[in-house]
Amino acid sequence: PDAGVSEILGALVGPGIAAEMAYTGRIYDAPWALEKGLVNRVVPADEMLAQAESLALEIAANPPLAVKATKALLNSHYPDLNQVIETEYRANDLVNGTSDQMEAIQAFLEKRDPKFIGS
């Protein structure tokens, strides 16, 4: 393993399964990967592109600044909860009061889909 896989894989599937995977080099099928939480879903090959596009559109319909901040938070790794909470507070400060936040509130009140612009 390289690129941090030994740490990341152990965190995802537990040290025992990670060790078995690394030691054996075995190829695992999609249902197994789904069961272990290594993939979010398993779809037929002929539906894969359509489902990926659908998910991308669903994500893109959200406020870009909030998605960017959430992505950064989910990709960060901190050794203790206090650092996580502090980083989340800073991320919230970046998106609070933005045009997109105001649009989300207004759209909710007007019972319509929001139109986010990324500011």
Instruction: Supply the pTM of this predicted model.
Output: 0.66
Q: Distance (Å, rounded) from C-alpha 72 to C-alpha 75?
A: 5
Question: The tokens of 90 are what?
Answer: 């800073």
Question: The tokens of 35 are what?
Answer: 């069961």
Dihedrals φ, ψ of 48, to 5°?
-60, -50
Domain 45-119: assigned CATH number = 1.10.12.10
Q: Rg of the chain's alpha carbons, rounded to an integer?
A: 19
Residue 117 near residue 99, CB atoms below 8 Å? yes
Q: Distance (Å, rounded) from C-alpha 112 to C-alpha 9?
A: 42
The one-character DSSP state at 3 is: T
Q: Model confidence over 24-78: pLDDT tens digits?
A: 989 999 999 999 999 999 999 999 999 999 999 999 999 999 999 899 888 887 7
Q: Where in the chain is the domain with CATH 1.10.12.10?
A: 45-119
